[in-house]
Structure 1
Amino acid sequence: MKKNRQYTDELKEKIVQECQEVGNVGVVARRHDISANTIHTWIKKYRERGTAKSMKKQSVSNADADQQTAQQLQKVSTENDRLKRLVAEKELELAVLRELRDRTNPK
């Protein structure tokens, strides 16, 4: 069982930023021989307090990404509705043409 170690705020912030850059807490945890749970706790605290510069940037970029995703979803939804109307219109045209064909050329 490991002892409780004390880490400086500078080291914590450096490791949190490294996690942001690498994108994998487990890799950074193994690299520094620190529990991944400990690092996740630091990340959560930095997000709540907004003390780590990278966490602030991530919050903004996540908000931007969420907004872009919502805009893309809206575009796709609108396009989907337009295409559904177009398909319905074409199906109606086909039905009318088939009926006309059957009237002019009975079997």
Structure 2
Amino acid sequence: MAQKQYSQEFKEQVIKECNDVGNVSLVARRHDISSNTIYGWISATKKRGSVKPLPRNEAKRLSEIEKRLESTSKENTTLKRLLGEKELELAVLRELRDTVNPR
């Protein structure tokens, strides 16, 4: 049996859909794909940071890794800022909750 090739965009879309739905089997049935295939894509995404494989050429490979690292760093910074804002909101709400007469 011939192995079917899926585009990188399709793989990313299926993985995003799995994350949104929370059920790999349901998404696999919807797209008529084996759930093991999707689990492999998810595993590859966790391992490499993307479904897209790294280039074989060492210079291109390093360049791609640097791009992915920069992207991850930016996302990490954004998430840290959002977390800080949420923690501040919670602190303010706890303070208001604990005050006897908030007026």
Q: Scaled by the length of structure 1, what TM-score is found?
A: 0.46
Q: Scaled by the length of structure 2, what TM-score is found?
A: 0.48
Could you say which structure has the larger radius of gyration? 1
Q: Could you say which structure has the higher helix fraction?
A: 1
